[in-house]
Amino acid sequence: MTRNATRGLSPATSVAAVIAIALFVLVVLAPTTLAMVDVWSRSSSYGHCFLIIPAFAWLVWQRRSELATLPLRPSWWPMPLLAGAGPVWLAGRMMAIDVASQFALVSMVPLAIGIGVGTAWVRALAFPLAFLLLAVPFGDSWVPTLREWTADATVVALRMSGVHVRQDGTSFSTPGDDWSVIDACSGMGFLLASLTIASLYACTLYRSSVKRLAFVAVAVTASILANWIRAYLFVLLAAPNGEPTAMGIDHIAFGWLVFGLVLSTVLFVGWCWRDDPAGRDERDPVSVPIVPGPPSTSRSLFAPPTAIALLCMFAVLSAGGDAAAPRSPVDTVRVDWKPGTLYAPPDGPTYHQHFNTAPVPSRYFVMSFGGARYFISNEKKASYQNMDKSTREGGNQIEYEDEDPRVLDLYERECAHNGVQSRMREITGAVAVA
């Protein structure tokens, strides 16, 4: 059994084995995988992520000849890391920290490959596995900073062009128009797309790590500059009604046009700077020294089943937590507070409301993990964006006229008990419940 375990596979079978292990991890922990796909489909900044998985498969295929020379040596060495990544994934799921759970998920792919076929395979696939990290929709916390940079750069360029501009944060005014740099104008989509394309391009064309990093840095910088150029030209060429003169396209399409021209220029310069292909294997753009892993033993054959059981256990634990989280929307809990009271509303699809029935004003302090500016998950971001939107419009706010009438009756009884007169019915037009 030991001798068979160290025998290599055919090139096609080697690729199939790697893809199968990666897909197994993504399928077993499907809630996080589906959450990532949902973000890809909803956000234009992450639409390019749909290409990450096919690009990963292509990169693995490029290394098929090298993989065929590697022995099958299941290993226990990555097992402690897999056992550590699982709780991180669970914590991210339970605390709704999407980035944590998603990075933990992607990190489990190389660990599972190392356990299933050997650590030498992970070294041979160093770049493809690192490239998978770009499938995680990260970077939303950079949006406020990118918006500020774009607004500042646009205002500076306009003033240098002789345009009088008055700026207030990410909003500014020109003689004929008022402008605001919103999230869609931050350039986050340009930056992430450029990072993905430049990483793949640099790995394919260059042997030197310094040249690869330098090219990626130049491409990312160019994407930021492209967004500044887009914003500047759009405002400069705008007519008084805010429409681009003689263009007939919106600012998003105009932005991608500018980005495409800038990125094409960077890629062309990078092509002229490429390394001589004679010094590298065309089928394997990255030359990674492969050091055989430790000799396989009969005990190592139990590593893959153990990893499978571990991943399935994490999936079951996550499913159990999800099933217990939601509360029925008709459940009501009354919490009487006084100075110094600390209360944490439960997670899940719940609503809460603050009341002061005393004859004097009161003040409460809200603490939250993440906020409207620096949110920690897409779920939290959606919650903040819908905070002041009526439930009838898909938001999270129950309007006074839509709330349970027993809530207002209870509020009036408590006010009367404290000698306070409620005037809420004058606002809502509600009728008292008998």
pLDDT, one tens digit per residue, over 367-405 is: 776 666 666 666 666 676 667 777 777 777 788 777 777
Residues 79, 125: one domain?
Answer: yes
Residues 317, 337: one domain?
Answer: no
Residue 374 is assigned to a structural domain of this protein:
yes
The span from the CA of 33 to the CA of 89, in Å, is 12
Question: How confident is the model over 299-330, as pLDDT tens digits?
Answer: 778 889 999 999 999 888 877 444 333 334 44
- Average of pLDDT values for 39-58? 90
Residues 41, 88: one domain?
Answer: yes
Residues 151, 211: one domain?
Answer: yes
The more confident residue out of 196 and 388 is 196
The total number of structural domains in the chain stands at 3
Amino acid at residue number 360: V
Q: At what angle do helices 79-94 and 98-116 cross, to 10 degrees?
A: 160
Are 62 and 16 in contact by the 8 Å Cβ rule? The answer is no
129 has a pLDDT exceeding 60: yes
277 has a pLDDT exceeding 90: no
| Structural element, H or E, at residue 178 | strand 178-180
| Domain span including residue 275 | 141-279
Q: What is the pLDDT of residue 111?
A: 96
The span from the CA of 409 to the CA of 431, in Å, is 9
- Average of pLDDT values for 13-25? 95
296 has a pLDDT exceeding 70: no
Residues for the chain: how many in total?
A: 434
Q: Which of 253, 279, 305 is at the close of a domain?
A: 279
Q: What is the pLDDT of residue 329?
A: 45
Residues 302, 354: one domain?
Answer: no
Residues 131, 195: one domain?
Answer: no
Q: What is the pLDDT of residue 153?
A: 95
Q: How far is CA 190 from the centre of its chain?
A: 15
Residues 232, 334: one domain?
Answer: no
98 has a pLDDT exceeding 60: yes
10 Å CB burial of residue 385 (0-12, 13-18, 19+) is middle
Residue 290 is assigned to a structural domain of this protein:
no
Q: What is the pLDDT of residue 4?
A: 41
Q: What is the pLDDT of residue 2?
A: 39
The span from the CA of 187 to the CA of 192, in Å, is 9
Q: What is the pLDDT of residue 108?
A: 97
Closest CA to 401 of 429, 379, 422, 377: 429
What proportions of the chain, in percent to the nearest 5, are helix, strand and coil? 60, 5, 35
Residue 10 is assigned to a structural domain of this protein:
yes
The beta-strand segments (E) located in 292-410 are none
Residue 238 is assigned to a structural domain of this protein:
yes
Q: What is the pLDDT of residue 123?
A: 94
345 has a pLDDT exceeding 80: no
134 has a pLDDT exceeding 80: yes
Are 63 and 123 in contact by the 8 Å Cβ rule? The answer is no
Residues 126, 10: one domain?
Answer: yes
> With bands split at pLDDT 50, 70 and 90, how would you rate the model's confidence at 252?
low
Are 124 and 66 in contact by the 8 Å Cβ rule? The answer is yes
Helix locations, 360-404, DSSP H: 378-385
426 has a pLDDT exceeding 80: no
Are 205 and 270 in contact by the 8 Å Cβ rule? The answer is yes
Residues 274, 146: one domain?
Answer: yes
242 has a pLDDT exceeding 50: no
> With bands split at pLDDT 50, 70 and 90, how would you rate the model's confidence at 255?
confident
Q: What is the pLDDT of residue 107?
A: 96
Three-state secondary structure call for residue 87: helix
- Average of pLDDT values for 36-48? 87
C-alpha dist (Å) from residue 43 to 132, 137, 138, 342, 392: 19, 9, 12, 37, 23
Instruction: Give me the chain's average pLDDT, please.
Output: 81
Q: What is the pLDDT of residue 317?
A: 83
| Structural element, H or E, at residue 68 | helix 64-68
Residues 20, 36: one domain?
Answer: yes
- Percentage of the chain modeled with pLDDT above 90: 39
Residue 241 is assigned to a structural domain of this protein:
yes
> With bands split at pLDDT 50, 70 and 90, how would you rate the model's confidence at 434?
very low
Q: Which residues of 144-167 are buried (b: 16+ CB within 10 A; e: fewer)?
A: eebbebbbbbbbebbeeeeeebeb
Residue 284 is assigned to a structural domain of this protein:
no
Most confident of the following: 37-41, 172-176, 343-347: 37-41
Amino acid at residue number 434: A
| Structural element, H or E, at residue 35 | helix 30-42
Q: What is the pLDDT of residue 429?
A: 62
Residues 203, 267: one domain?
Answer: yes
Question: How confident is the model over 135-188, as pLDDT tens digits?
Answer: 999 888 888 899 999 999 999 999 998 888 999 888 898 887 888 888 878 888
Q: What is the pLDDT of residue 68?
A: 92
Residue 356 is assigned to a structural domain of this protein:
yes
> With bands split at pLDDT 50, 70 and 90, how would you rate the model's confidence at 428?
low
Q: What is the pLDDT of residue 96?
A: 76
Residues 128, 151: one domain?
Answer: no
